[in-house]
Structure 1
């Protein structure tokens, strides 16, 4: 029986041990670099910074919807979401007086994908009503924007309920993704849009509302979230 040598030709035992150590260190360093980029250990990458700067230029008017207030997000929320940029605004319809609160963030896919209204609002003074449903808006430029819609009632008898719309995207269209964390995992950055509007008691789930009207104007506009 031929004896299989313990050492590869051309390498001594010590050389093989050093080679194994070098490979192990290389894998560790590569993994550290990849994780550092993924977790933004060294700050947001250039593409993500460009996306954040573009988001700051979001128009102050869409159709009859006019910006009424810019609202800063809590530092703890920004840190938790790891977002590189955001807008948090209140828009008012100039004819009807209807109000919507709009938040759009851009950041790494992981933390941007996992926080949903089902978690955030249900932990406060709101009760979720039913399950979320998908809402498609009018087709534009050969594509459709799709959002999740979800209703909440409040424990405060003096306040109205809320209808929340939310979706994710890469800056060109919005998707009501079932699994955004996996669907967008390989993307350099991810956008999330969340919009809240008052829910009058007589409004049925399928009825149009201020939130849907605003999102329709947003989708019809020429504004692009992603930088050119």
Structure 2
């Protein structure tokens, strides 16, 4: 397993950060099904202790991305395209509801925030830029679209469908997401909750379609 200097985690790390790195490696195919994840090598590669690496492996096992075998170590599990589609579409339903509520509860502050986010997204040229701005969009609509308690719950669950997963596998899904979110933002700002909800769901479904095609192609 190798990484560029930029992949090294330079500040004090956490299990979530290490998990994000390993998750990207798995989704991008740089770590294949059956590969063993060496804790010592991973810690050295990322410049961390073994503690956050162990935390990361527990996170990934809970997500169903790896299997930890007693006395043998952690191994990468095959990616199931159907499960990826199901997860993405379930979150599509959730965020469709959030988009509808955001449109119904539109305030002047939210309208300004979404206008700025839309401009940023329109100007984004790389996958990383797109996903950063999409994250800002999701945070903005959840702030008004759901309760604080539900907001915290959804933030914890979002790791299951990290947008970087899509970026690592399918550039087409990146573009579909960018265009779809721009449309959804315009509908939220217009106060059209029903159409914003539909647009949000269709955006997630389109991204899932592209992602599944790319994953199936990789699997042969």
The TM-score range, normalised by the shorter chain, is under 0.3
Q: Which has the larger share of strand?
A: 1
TM-score of the two chains, using structure 2 as the length reference: 0.27
